[in-house]
A and B are shown apart, each in its own frame.
Chain A
Amino acid sequence: MRTLEKIDPGQLMLLVMFTVPSTIQLTLPRMLAKVAQESGWMSALLGSVLGFFVLALSALVALRLPPGPLPTALEALLGKFWGKAVCLFLAVCLFSYIPLMHRIFGTAINVGMMPFTPLSVLLIIFSINIFLLVYLGLETIARSAQAFFPVLLLFFLFVVIGALPLMSLQRLKPFFGNGLWPIIQGTSLVTPYFGEGVIVLALIPSLSDQKKAWRSIGLASFFIGLVFTGVTVASLAAFGATWTASVPYPVLRLARNVAIGRFIHRFEPFFMAVWYISVYIKTSLLVFLTGKLLAAVFNQENYRLLCAIILILAFPLAFLPPDQLSVFHLQFGFAKVVSIVVGVVLPLVLLPFTFKGGVQK
C-alpha cells in the first residue's frame, strides 16, 4: 500500500489547520479569559493574525530551500554535519510534543467522557490508530484529513451555533475594558502555537504545486483564526469571563450546551469523538515527520520501524506529568517554548543560509 508522497495545496492547508489548534483548542478560552477577561476574543483574533506571520516565516524558508525532501535539502544547504544536526534537533523538538499530545488528549477524554477508564488503555488504542496511519504514509494522513474535514466543520459549527441561545453580547462588553495591554498579553497565548506550523517546512517539499503554497498557508491561518476566535467568542458570550476562566475545558462546556428542545442533549461525546480526529491527525503527522527525519539522520531506509519505536517511547513519557494542573503548565509553558524555538528561532536561523547561496526557487 505504498502511496505517492505528494500532497495537494488543499491538503497542506488542512494539515496545518489540524496541527496548529489541536494543542490548545479545548483550553484556550480559559487562559484567554484569565488574562484578558471579556476581551479575550480580541487576543485570539490578533494572535491569529500575528500567527500567520510565524507560519509565513517557515513557509519562506521552506520555499527557498534547495529541492528535495527536507533532510536532503538541509544537507545541501548546510553541509552534511550541520544538516543532520538540524534534522536531529527538529526531530527531537517534534518528538517532545508527542507525549504531550498523548497526555493532553487522554486527560481531556478522561475528564469529559470516560472518567474511569485508565489513561493507559486510552493511549494504547490511540497509539495503535496512529501507527496504522503512519504506516500507510503521508498521503494517507493528508487524505484522511480531507475525508474527515466535513465532519469536523459540521461539529464545530454545531457547537458554536448550539450555544447561541445562551450567548449574550452584553457579556463581551466592555470592549477594551482593561485597556490594550491585556489583549496584547493574550496574543502570547495564541501566536506561539502557530510555531507548530514548522511542519510546513517538512511538508512543502512534498507539495505538488509549489506556487499555491502561500495561498494554502494564508487560508489555513484564516481558518485557524476563525476557529480560535469563534470558540473564544462563544465561550465568553455564553458563560461570561469569570466562569470561563474557572473551567478547564470551556469548549467541552459549550458542547454540553448543545440541546435541541429536550430531545438531543449532552452531545459532548460526539464532540470529543470529533476532537479525537483532530488530535489523531496531528499526532500522526508529528510521528511521521519525526520518523522520517530520524531515518534520514541515521541513514535508514525504513522509517516505519522508527515510528513504532517513537510511539513506544512516547507512551511511558506521557505519564510523566503527575496531575492535570501540571499538564496545563506544560501546555502553556513548555509547549510554548518549544513552539517558539522550532517555529520562530529555527526558521530565522535558517533564513540567512537560504540567501547565502543565492538559491532561488
Chain B
Amino acid sequence: MRKSLLWLLLAVVPLLGGCWDAIEIENLKFIMVMGIDREPSGRVLVSLHAVNVEQLNVSTESSSSSGGELPYYLTTVRGRSLYEAFHNYFTRKHGRRGHFSHLQAIILGEEFAKDSLPECIDWLNRERELSVETEIFLARGRAYDLMKVKPIQERVSGSFIEGLETETANIGFVPTATVPILLTAFTTPGREAIIPFLEKGKLDLLGQGEKNETLQLGGAGVFRGSKFCGWLTPNETRGYLWITGKPRDPLVIVGMDERKVAFDVQEIKRKIKPHISGNKVRISVEMEARGEVAEIFGRGPHVDEAFFKEVGKRAADEIKQEIKNTIALAQRLGSDFIGFGEIVRGSTNNKKWKELDWRTQFPQVPVEVKVKGLVRRSGVAVEQLKAW
C-alpha cells in the first residue's frame, strides 16, 4: 500500500513540469529576416518577415507560381528599444510569439548602424534564441525599403538573402558577418567590425526589361570601435578578403594585349609579419595566389608558357593594387578592419600594445605588400580554338 502511494507520487511528478517552456511548433511565428531602423523620433523601427505557415502548406499542394499570396509577409513594429518593439508590439498585435531561432538575416539600417551598433551587439549577445548562422547586413538607406523587395526564386525571403550571401562571399566580394564573427571582431583589440551591405539592384525578368527590383550585395561598411566609418566598394572589400578572408573562388580579370584573361584564384598563401622597433610598427604582407585560367576572351596570338607566366604576373599586380587600395582606404578612414592590429598585438605583450596606441598609429603605419601570382593549371583547354 505504501509502496504504491510512493509510485503514485512519483508518477505525478513529471506532470509538474512542462507548461512553462512548451510551445507547440505550429504556434510559433517564424521570423526569417529582421530589419532595424532608427526613426527621426528616436524610436526603433523593426521590420520583420514573418512566415505564414499555412501558405507554405497550400503552395506545396498546388505549386502554382502565379500564386496569390506569398508564404511570408512584411510587418513593422516600433518601440524604444529592440526588445520592447519586438516583444510588446509584435506579440500583442499578431497573436503569436515570434521566434528567432530560424532568423536568417538581420539588416541594419544606415541611420541605425551609424550610432547604435553597440545596442545591436548587446541584443545579439543576449538573445538566447539566435542561431549561429544568422547573417548581419547593413543597408544603404532604410532596411525597411530593402525588405519590401520581393525575392525571385525562393519562396521565403530569408533563404534568398542567405543564398545571396554565400555565393557572393565565395567569389570574394563580400565578407561574412555572422553573429560570432561580428561579436568577435567587435571585441578583439586590434580589429574593427566589417559588415556587408545590401542594396537594391535592377533585374531583367521575364523579358520586362530592367524593371524588377532585387537585392544585391554591395561591398561592406566598416566601423571604428562603435562608430561607423565608411563604405567599401566590392573591389575594396575584395582587397580585404585577399589579406585575411577565405574567398573560395575569386576571379581576377587581367588584360593581355587585346584579350581579357580570367584568372580563377584557387589557393592563397599569405604571411603577415609585423616589425616593431621602439614605438614604430611596420607591416609586411606576402601573398601567393595560385589558380587556373578560366577564360581567354578575345583574339590574339599563340598561347604558350610565357603567356601563362605573364598572366600570373599581371594578376599578381592586380591583386596587389586591390590590396594597396584597401589598405590605403583603411588608413584614410582610420579603421583597421583588416586586423593588422591583432597580429601586431599577438607578437608583443600587452603593455607594449597599450603604448603603441594602435588606433592613432594605424593611419601612418607603412605596409609593404608583395604578391606572387602563379597559374598552376591552364584549365581544361590550353590553346584557343581557331577556325580552320
Residues of A participating in the B interface, judged by any CB pair closer than 8 Å = 37, 111-112, 114-118, 121-122, 124-125, 128, 166, 170-171, 173-174, 176-179, 238-243, 246-247, 256-257, 259, 262, 265-266
Contacts and interface: CB of A to CB of B under 8 A. Distances in A.
A128 B101 CA distance: 32
Given A174-B345, A246-B125, A117 B188 contact: no
Contacts of A124: 13, 16
A128 B10 contact: yes
Nearest to B187: A242
8 contacts: A111-B128, A166-B181, A170-B343, A174-B353, A177-B345, A238-B184, A239-B183, A241-B188
A287 to B, nearest CB: 18
A37 B20 contact: no
Nearest to A262: B133
B99 to A, nearest CB: 12
Given A166-B180, A243-B183, A243-B184, A114 B346 contact: no
Contacts of A179: 349
Nearest to A265: B131
Given A170-B342, A239-B184, A266 B132 contact: yes
B17 interface: yes
Nearest to B21: A114
Given A128-B10, A265-B132, A173 B20 contact: no
Interface string B14-30: 10111011000000000
B384 interface: no
Interface in B314-367: 339, 342-343, 345-351, 353
B349 A121 contact: no
Task: Determine the interface band of chain B, counting residues with CB < 8 A from chain A.
Answer: 20 to 34
B20 A174 contact: no
B304 to A, nearest CB: 41
Contact of B21 (A116, A170, A242): A116
A173 B14 CA distance: 49
B128 A257 contact: no
B342 A115 contact: no
A65 B51 CA distance: 68
Most chain B CB atoms below 10 A, which of A111, A117, A238: A117
CB-based closest 4 A-B pairs: A173-B346, A242-B187, A116-B20, A177-B350
B245 interface: no
A107 to B, nearest CB: 14
A77 to B, nearest CB: 40
A302 to B, nearest CB: 16
A240 to B, nearest CB: 4
Given A115-B21, A242-B187, A174 B16 contact: no
A243 B20 contact: no
A118 B346 contact: no
Interface in B9-47: 10, 13-14, 16-18, 20-21
A128 B16 CA distance: 13
A174 B347 contact: yes
B150 to A, nearest CB: 23
Given A114-B20, A257-B132, A242 B189 contact: yes
A266 B132 CA distance: 7
Interface in B214-252: none
Nearest to B339: A170
A240 B184 contact: yes
A128 B128 CA distance: 29
B162 to A, nearest CB: 8
A244 to B, nearest CB: 9
Given A174-B353, A265-B131, 16 more contacts: A114-B20, A114-B21, A118-B20, A121-B16, A125-B14, A125-B16, A128-B13, A170-B342, A174-B349, A238-B184, A239-B184, A241-B188, A243-B187, A259-B131, A265-B132, A266-B132
A117 B14 CA distance: 13
Contacts of A239: 180, 183-184
A243 B187 CA distance: 6
A174 B350 contact: yes
Contacts of A238: 180, 184
A116 B346 CA distance: 43
Contacts of A125: 13-14, 16-17
Contacts of B14: 125
Residue in A128, A178, A266 with the greatest tally of chain B CB atoms within 10 Å: A266
A139 to B, nearest CB: 23
A170 B188 CA distance: 11
Nearest to A256: B132
Contacts of B17: 117, 121-122, 125
A340 B367 CA distance: 53
A174 B187 contact: no
A242 B350 contact: no
A276 to B, nearest CB: 14
Contacts of B10: 128
A241 B183 CA distance: 12
A177 B349 contact: yes
Interface string B121-148: 0000100100111000000000000000
Contacts of A243: 125, 183-184, 187-188
B283 to A, nearest CB: 14
